[in-house]
């Protein structure tokens, strides 16, 4: 898998020849300093590469073409130190295929009271140069991120870093391959979708491989491979089962090794399976899927390839962060009046990156699927603010839904619940939040993340040109219904 650190963002400063050689030299010097400061910032996760100041339409067009064809380049950041007439930008921007951030800053923080003269003003005029640049972005209906602020301030650098993570999600999306074992669960609607439309919009290549091939790979796992992974399990988790049943865990380890091998051979970063198609397998993968998620792979249960892909992308966007991101399902509620909570879990497959404490490996029978009791990781999710998100196919377009949540320590022990569990308050409150989610058509499967923000998902949706709906602490159902109606009309016209 690629690393977020390998991606570059090109820092492109606009100007023109009007100002003369000296001023242009100074513009290049100042812009280099800004690009270097961003590149060295600990809150910026990717490389920032200074590009020579562009002064003509040809230079702009040529740098956009280069950016489009450079696989390492995940986006461009533009800044108008001086005035850069925007008709020069039209042909270039019309070709731009990479995420685009307009950084509205200036080299000096303060106006130098005694020293300021017309030369100073002509050199430091992003206040109007960036407005000219902003106009052409608006006029051309460019989806773009606009960030205003002083380039040395960490909160501003963090905004750029946050947007970069969304842009990396877009770059990863365009090359994402999902391995499906079996089809979607029979008769389920929300996990279905137009794979051609998804590939056209998001780039995801979603294809199927036979469960029989996986069974073959499982049977060929070597003793050395098995021992290495069992050692890993032993170092990371507590064994909470009778060791005479160790073969049950060994079977899961073999599943994990086999699935990973098949994915790596095909260049896939995410997979889905279903309990309805485990032909030749002894158990539904439990810890196998959980541990693969912990390693950064995407997963979706019941053939839900959309949520699997989304899990991978959110994990990639939050690479290096430690809050946790997982495939999730709204399972059941606690409707204590005034403190309503959602209990999220799955049959088995919740990523241990969410865990508050060291997860335990347990073996319990599974109520459905008719297979042997599988080994799985059991733990509680930790407290903290987060989001849940899902992607649904509205027929003709995709809708990305995001809801702000606040996870709490589960209020019950639930000693007979044999799976990992997370409890949260949905915003604005569970009941209004559930009404809003259902109104939007949100799925029961989601990705839960403590690391990825709603703003990043909005940035991602803008870059990919898909619909975005955000349920927040301020969501009002009447307004939301109107918003969904307007969005429906707008997306049909688009």
Would you tell me which residues interact with Mn ion (CB under 5 A)? 301-302, 329
CB of 307 vs Mn ion, minimal distance in Å: 9
Cis peptide before 428 (omega within 30 of 0): yes
The Cα diameter of the chain in Å comes to 84
With CB atoms as reference, the residue minimizing the distance to Mn ion is: 301
CB of 240 vs Mn ion, minimal distance in Å: 24
CB of 331 vs Mn ion, minimal distance in Å: 9
Q: Which residues contact 194 (CB under 8 A, 6 or more apart)?
A: 393, 395
Distance CA 364, CA 278 (A): 18
Give the Cβ contact number of residue 62 at 10 Å.
13
Q: Is 73 or 391 the residue whose CB approaches Mn ion more closely?
A: 391
Q: Is 45 or 418 the residue whose CB approaches Mn ion more closely?
A: 418
Q: Is 43 or 185 the residue whose CB approaches Mn ion more closely?
A: 185
Q: Is 173 or 184 the residue whose CB approaches Mn ion more closely?
A: 184
Give the Cβ contact number of residue 52 at 10 Å.
12
Q: Is 329 or 459 the residue whose CB approaches Mn ion more closely?
A: 329
Q: Is 45 or 301 the residue whose CB approaches Mn ion more closely?
A: 301
Distance CA 367, CA 474 (A): 40
CB of 390 vs Mn ion, minimal distance in Å: 12
Q: Work out whether the CA dihedral 306, 307, 312, 313 comes out positive or negative.
A: positive
Query: What would the 3-class secondary structure string for 288-343 be?
Result: HHHHHHHCCCEEECCCCHHHHHHHHHHHHHCCCCCCCEEEEEEEEEECCCCCCEEE
CB of 302 vs Mn ion, minimal distance in Å: 5
CB of 389 vs Mn ion, minimal distance in Å: 16
Report, in angstroms and rounded to the nearest whole number, the Rg of the chain calculated over CA atoms: 25
Q: Is 169 or 301 the residue whose CB approaches Mn ion more closely?
A: 301
Distance CA 237, CA 179 (A): 27
CB of 185 vs Mn ion, minimal distance in Å: 8
């Amino acid at each position: 898998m690629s690393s977020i650190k390998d991606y570059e963002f090109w820092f492109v400063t606009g100007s023109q020849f009007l100002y003369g050689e000296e001023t242009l030299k100074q513009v290049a010097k100042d812009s280099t300093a800004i690009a270097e400061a961003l590149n060295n910032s600990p809150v910026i996760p990717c490389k920032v590469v200074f590009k020579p100041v562009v002064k003509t339409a040809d230079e702009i067009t040529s740098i956009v073409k280069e950016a489009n064809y450079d696989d390492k380049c995940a986006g461009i950041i533009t800044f108008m130190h001086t005035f850069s007439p925007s008709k020069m930008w039209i042909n270039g921007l019309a070709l731009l295929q990479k995420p685009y951030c307009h950084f509205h800053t200036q080299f000096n923080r303060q106006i130098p009271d005694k020293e300021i003269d017309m030369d100073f003003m002509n050199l430091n005029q992003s206040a109007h140069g960036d407005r000219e640049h902003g106009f052409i972005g608006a006029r051309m209906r460019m989806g773009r991120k606009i960030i205003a602020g002083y380039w040395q301030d960490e909160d501003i650098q963090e905004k750029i870093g946050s947007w970069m993570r969304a842009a990396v999600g877009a770059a990863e999306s365009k090359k994402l391959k999902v391995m499906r074992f079996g089809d979607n669960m029979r008769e389920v609607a929300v996990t279905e979708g137009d794979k051609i439309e998804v590939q056209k919009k998001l780039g995801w290549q979603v294809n199927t491989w036979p469960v029989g091939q996986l069974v073959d790979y499982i049977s060929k796992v070597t003793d050395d491979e098995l021992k290495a992974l069992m050692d890993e399990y032993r170092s990371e988790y507590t064994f909470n089962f009778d060791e005479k049943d160790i073969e049950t865990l060994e079977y899961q380890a073999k599943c994990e090794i086999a699935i990973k091998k098949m994915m790596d051979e095909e260049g896939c970063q995410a997979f889905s399976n279903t309990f309805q198609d485990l032909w030749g397998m002894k158990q539904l993968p439990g810890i196998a899927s959980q541990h693969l998620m912990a390693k950064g792979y995407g997963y979706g249960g019941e053939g839900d390839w959309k949520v699997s892909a989304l899990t991978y992308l959110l994990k990639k966007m939050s690479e290096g962060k430690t809050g946790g991101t997982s495939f999730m399902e709204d399972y059941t509620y606690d409707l204590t009046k005034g403190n309503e909570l959602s209990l999220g879990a799955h049959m088995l497959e919740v990523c241990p990156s969410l865990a508050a404490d060291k997860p335990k490996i347990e073996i319990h029978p599974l109520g459905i699927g008719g297979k042997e009791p599988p080994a799985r990781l059991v733990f509680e999710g930790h407290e903290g603010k987060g989001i849940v998100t899902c992607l649904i196919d509205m027929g003709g377009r995709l809708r990305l839904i995001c809801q702000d949540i606040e996870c709490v320590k589960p209020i019950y022990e639930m000693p007979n619940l044999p799976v990992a569990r997370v409890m949260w308050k949905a915003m604005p409150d569970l009941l209004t939040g559930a009404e809003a989610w259902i109104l939007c058509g949100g799925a029961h499967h989601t990705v839960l993340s403590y690391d990825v923000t709603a703003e990043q998902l909005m940035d991602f949706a803008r870059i990919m040109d898909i619909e975005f709906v955000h349920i927040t602490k301020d969501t009002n159902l009447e307004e939301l219904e109107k918003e969904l109606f307007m969005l429906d009309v707008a997306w049909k016209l688009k």
